[in-house]
């Protein structure tokens, strides 16, 4: 069955209800899609509804349909934590047994001192903060001193912000590689993130030249065995380049959707097209922007027909997420949630209820069976349930 192609679109942070262990993470009651639906008095997502989104879980405004065009279900994260890296890794068959470290009080001297020594300058910040807020708070000081702004969040991230006219983007990336080398166990932070910005005091804006420097997966993933993956968005960064044959970085969701459509239409040499659409999480979830999040969902839904119409006979489209980020909650961090699973294509039986999958790794095991890759150590394939033969 090596002539099949899979397209995975990760709607970053679009969770669909809190997991049984969510209380351990302070996330009881979180439900990204469900709570947004209630807040906006019902979702209007006709394309996703037709595929069976409302069949997965109760959602105001989206009733279950009798004959959904896709197979549907939801998946529980088995990895510890609720991070982008662990979520994506698990989708590719790697379950992370420990949560990545976080720094609610900022980074300790054993990290900051060697970092400052190696970059040859002081840093400012070193606290949890919103990325947009901290550049407004410290941007002037950064312009005056040239010191990079270091900050974190509730997630496992070491973020470095710098004005592009003060620290050129190439130099900012170099600072990130230095931090990445320092951040090893026990401070094995999941991602070091370059956050370039532009503008003048009181009017700073972040640019699209963000880049993630991720901890590499501790073990091989499906991508390593497949070695035929086109990554769109930050996929290459999440996997530290491992198993990514070609990468297309994107500016935003619109760009990611268009690059996905173009790649489905033109690229036949890759077995897997793997897209991350980050705006849900980055622009709206972390900023508690319910209206913006819903607008982003509607934009994706409006583009779905364009995606579906370019699919080929042997293409399988899988729409899912990596964690939640409920914008209706007081906090701004990721939330421990189930993620939706919609599987569509001419080769896929419509309307199959895939139930509650015990791990995201079921997607990897399914693809391994599809491409005759030796069985992975995690996950249960659902291929036999969905594949038209």
Residue pLDDT, tens place only, 81-127: 999 999 999 999 999 988 899 999 999 999 999 999 999 999 999 99
Kindly indicate the confidence band of residue 154, based on its pLDDT and cuts at 50, 70 and 90.
Answer: confident
pLDDT tier for residue 162 given thresholds of 50, 70 and 90: very high
Q: What is the CATH number of domain 5-99+217-386?
A: 3.40.720.10
Are 139 and 197 spatial neighbours (Cβ–Cβ below 8 Å)?
A: yes
pTM beyond cutoff 0.85: yes
pLDDT at res. 351: 98
CB proximity list for 7: less than 8 A, separation 6 or greater? 260, 264, 272, 273, 275, 307, 311, 315, 316, 317, 318
Q: Give the model's pLDDT for residue 98.
A: 85
Averaged over 367-388, what is the pLDDT?
Answer: 97
In this prediction, residue 66 carries a pLDDT of 96
As a whole number, mean pLDDT of residues 326-348 equals 95
Q: pLDDT-based confidence at 1, cuts 50/70/90?
A: low
Check residue 155 and give its pLDDT.
84
> How does residue 386 score in pLDDT terms, banded at 50, 70 and 90?
very high
Domain boundaries, the chain: 5-99+217-386, 109-213
Q: What is the pLDDT of residues 23-50, one digit of tens each?
A: 999 999 999 999 999 999 999 999 999 9
In the predicted model, is pLDDT for residue 183 greater than 90?
yes
The string of pLDDT tens digits covering residues 263-313 is 999 977 899 999 999 999 999 999 999 999 999 999 999 999 999 999 999
Q: How far, in Å, CA of 195 to CA of 208, rounded?
A: 9
CATH architecture of the domain 109-213 equals: 2-Layer Sandwich (3.30)
**Mean pLDDT over residues 239-265, rounded?**
96
Kindly report, residue by residue over 193-225, the tens digit of the pLDDT.
999 999 999 899 999 899 999 999 989 999 999
Indicate if 109-213 has the same CATH topology as 5-99+217-386: no
Identify the pLDDT of residue 166: 97
Q: Which of 224, 234, 221, 222 is CA-nearest to residue 191?
A: 234
Q: How confident is the model at residue 65 (pLDDT cuts 50, 70, 90)?
A: very high
- Strand order of the β-sheet with 339-344 is 246-248, 229-232, 272-277, 5-11, 315-320, 339-344, 71-75, 353-357
Distance CA 186, CA 107 (A): 12
By the 8 A CB rule, do 285 and 326 touch?
Answer: yes
Distance of alpha carbon 324 from alpha carbon 358, whole angstroms: 17
Residues in the chain: 389
pLDDT of residue 332: 84
Q: How confident is the model at residue 22 (pLDDT cuts 50, 70, 90)?
A: very high
pLDDT at 2 over 80: no
């Amino acid at each position: 069955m090596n002539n099949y192609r899979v397209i995975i679109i990760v709607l970053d942070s679009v969770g669909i209800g809190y997991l049984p262990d969510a209380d351990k993470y302070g996330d009881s009651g979180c439900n990204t899609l469900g709570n947004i639906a209630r807040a906006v008095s019902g979702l209007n997502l006709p394309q996703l509804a037709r595929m069976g989104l409302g069949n997965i879980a109760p959602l105001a405004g989206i009733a279950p349909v009798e004959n959904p065009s896709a197979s549907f279900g939801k998946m529980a994260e088995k990895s510890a934590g609720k991070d982008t890296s662990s979520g994506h890794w698990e989708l590719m068959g790697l379950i992370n047994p420990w949560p990545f470290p976080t720094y609610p009080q900022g980074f300790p001297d054993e990290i900051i001192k060697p970092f400052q020594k190696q970059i040859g300058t002081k840093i400012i910040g070193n606290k949890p903060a919103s990325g947009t807020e901290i550049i407004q708070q410290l941007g002037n000081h950064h312009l005056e001193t040239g010191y990079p702004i270091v900050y974190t969040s509730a997630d496992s991230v070491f973020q470095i912000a710098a004005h592009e006219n003060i620290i050129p983007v190439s130099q900012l990336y170099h600072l990130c590689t230095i931090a990445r080398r320092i951040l090893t166990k026990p401070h094995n932070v999941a991602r070091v993130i370059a956050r370039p910005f532009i503008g003048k005091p009181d009017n700073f804006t972040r640019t699209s030249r963000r880049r993630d420097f991720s901890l590499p997966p501790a073990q091989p993933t499906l991508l390593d065995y497949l070695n035929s993956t086109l990554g769109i968005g930050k996929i290459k960064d999440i996997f530290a380049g491992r198993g990514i044959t070609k990468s297309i970085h994107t500016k935003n969701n619109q760009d990611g959707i268009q690059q996905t459509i173009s790649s489905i239409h033109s690229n036949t040499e890759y077995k897997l097209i793997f897209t991350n659409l980050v705006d849900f999480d980055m622009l709206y979830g972390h900023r508690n922007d319910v209206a913006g999040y819903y607008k982003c969902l509607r934009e994706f839904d409006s583009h779905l027909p364009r995606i579906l119409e370019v699919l080929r006979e042997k293409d399988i489209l899988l729409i899912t997420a990596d964690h939640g980020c409920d914008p209706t909650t007081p906090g701004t961090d990721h939330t421990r949630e189930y993620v939706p699973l919609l599987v569509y294509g001419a080769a896929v039986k419509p309307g199959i209820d895939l139930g509650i999958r015990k791990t995201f790794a079921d997607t990897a095991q399914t693809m391994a069976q599809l491409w005759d890759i030796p069985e992975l150590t995690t996950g249960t394939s659902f291929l036999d349930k969905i594949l038209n033969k």
